Structure 1
Amino acid sequence: MNGGVAMKKQITTIVSIILIIIIALFALINFESVDVNFGFASVRVPLVLLILISVLVGALIIFLLSSILNVRKNRAYRELESQSQQKQDELTDQIKALQANLKALETRLKNSYGKQELGAKDQQITNLEDEIAKLSDKLSQK
C-alpha cells in the first residue's frame, strides 16, 4: 500500500515539473507588454509577468482549498478514531461483564453438579439402607 502512495507522489511530481516547464516556455514566448485593466486603473505589464502572477495566484488558491479540505478530513478522522476507541472500550467492558457472568455461571454449575452428585449419593445410601432393611427382615423371618 505504501508503494502506491510513493508512486502517486512520484507521478504528481513529474506532472508538476512538466506543467512548470510548459508554463515557463509559454511565458518566455509571450514576452511583449499588455495593458491590464482593473476597472479603476490600467497598467501596462509584461505578458510573462502577468502569466507567472496568474499561475502563482492559481497555485495559492489551490493550496488554500486543499489545506481546508485536509483540515476537515483530519478533523473527521480524529472524530472517527475517537468514536472507534469509545466503541472498543464499550465492547471491552461488555466482554469483561460476559466473562464475569460466565465465571459465575460456571461456579453455579459446579455447585449444582456437586449438589446433584451429593443427592445421587444420598439416594444410593437410602437405597442401600432399604436393601439392608429388607435383607435384615428376610434374615429375621428365617
Structure 2
Amino acid sequence: MKKQITTIVSIILVILIAIFAMLNLEKVNVSFGFTEINIPLVFLILVCLLIGALIIFLFSSAQNLKKNREYRELQQQSLERQRELTAEIDQLQESLKNLELRLKNSSGKQEIGAKDQQINELESEIEKLSNKLSSQK
C-alpha cells in the first residue's frame, strides 16, 4: 500500500513539474563563472530536478549500505550467541545426565545397603533361633 501511495504522489509531482516547465519556455542565461550559456528555462528546471534526484538517491543509497552492514553485523552476533547458547545447553544436558546417573547409583547403593542390613538382621535372628533350638535339645 505504501508503494502505491508513493507512486501516485510521484506521478502527481512529475505532472506538476511538467506543467510548471511548460509555462516557462523562454530562454535564460546561465553563468558557470568561466562561461555563460543561453538555454530554455524548461531544460534548466529539468536538469536541476535530475541533479536533485541524483543527490537524494546517493544519500539514500549510502544510508541503505550502512544499514545493511549493521544488519549483517547484528546477524553475525546473533549466530555467535546462538552457538554459545547451544554449547551451554549441551553442557547442561551432559551435566544433567551425569547427575541422573549418580542419583541412580546412589539410590541403588542405598537399596543394597538396606537389603544387606535386612540380611544381617535375618542372620542374627536365625542364629538366635538356632541357639534356642540347640538349647532346647
The one of 114, 117, 123 aligned to 1:123: 117
CA offset at residue 11 of structure 1? Answer: 1.2
SS at the partner of 2:56?
helix
Deviation at 1:76? Answer: 0.6
The alignment's C-alpha RMSD in Å is 1.3
| Counterpart residue number, 1:62 | 56
Task: Tell me how many residue pairs correspond in the alignment.
Answer: 136
Aligned to 2:88: 94
- Describe how 1:13-32 pairs up with structure 2 within 5 A: 13-32=7-26
| 1:141, distance to aligned residue in structure 2 (A) | 4.1
Alignment match, 2:67: 73
Among 113, 134, 139, the alignment partner of 2:128 is 134
Aligned equivalents of 2:83 and 2:74: distance in 1?
Answer: 14
Aligned AA (2:104) = K
Deviations 1:6-48 (A, max 9, x none): x111111111111111111111111111222223332222110
Q: How does 1:41-56 map to 2 (within 5 A)?
A: 41-56=35-50
CA distance in structure 2 between the aligned counterparts of 1:82 and 1:134, rounded to whole angstroms: 78
Q: Which runs of 5+ in 2 are unaligned?
A: none
- Which ranges in structure 1 are unaligned for 5 or more consecutive residues? 1-6
- Report the CA distance between 1:130 and its aligned residue: 2.1
Equivalent residue for 1:82, pick from 76, 79, 82: 76
SS at structure 2 position matched to 1:34: strand
In the alignment, residue 119 of structure 1 is paired with which amino acid? G
Query: What is the 5 A alignment of 1:107-122?
Result: 107-122=101-116
Q: TM-score, normalised by structure 1?
A: 0.89
- 2:37 alignment partner, SS class: strand
